[in-house]
Amino acid sequence: MSDKNTSSPEGIGVSLVDGDPSVRRARQLMLRAERYEVRSYATCAALLADPRSRDYPCIILDLEMEEVDGMDLLRKMRASGWRGRALLLDGLNPGNPLLREAERHGDTVLSRNVGGQTLLTAVAASVDRSWAGWNAVG
């Protein structure tokens, strides 16, 4: 018998924010192929405006979009009751204050050009950490 967790991601939601429609669609299809429920958004404002976005334990956020303050978005999401984890896609240098703040909240910063398998692994790890006690209401 294996101790490995083989639970399916089916029914686990991921919010995806990316201003590039082709990248957003490709990632959405990849996540859906792995049986995640995916809600995709072209802007941070669209994510914040959707009350259902608080029901998903993981946000994938491209920080290289114009006029994006990813940490401000996450602060607003957390202030509205969201208790999940974020995968922040950027090309940050080590020592950047964003990295420290992200780590403090259990978020992960990855390269914007992260490969599909690496992104899927990061999503699964973020959900494993946050899903056990997940309750969208708080």
**94 part of a folded domain:** yes
Burial class of residue 14 in the structure, from the number of CB atoms within 10 Å of its CB (0-12 exposed, 13-18 middle, 19+ buried): buried
**82 part of a folded domain:** yes
**101 part of a folded domain:** yes
Contact 13, 38 (CB under 8 A): yes
Q: What type of residue sits at position 78? A: R
State the Cα–Cα distance between residues 10 and 22, nearest whole angstrom.
24
> What confidence tens digit (pLDDT) does each residue in 63-98 have?
877 666 777 888 899 999 999 999 998 876 666 777
Position 136 scores a pLDDT of 47
Strand partners, 108: 87
What global pTM score does this model have? 0.82
What is the number of structural domains in the chain? 1
CATH number of the structural domain spanning residue 23: 3.40.50.2300
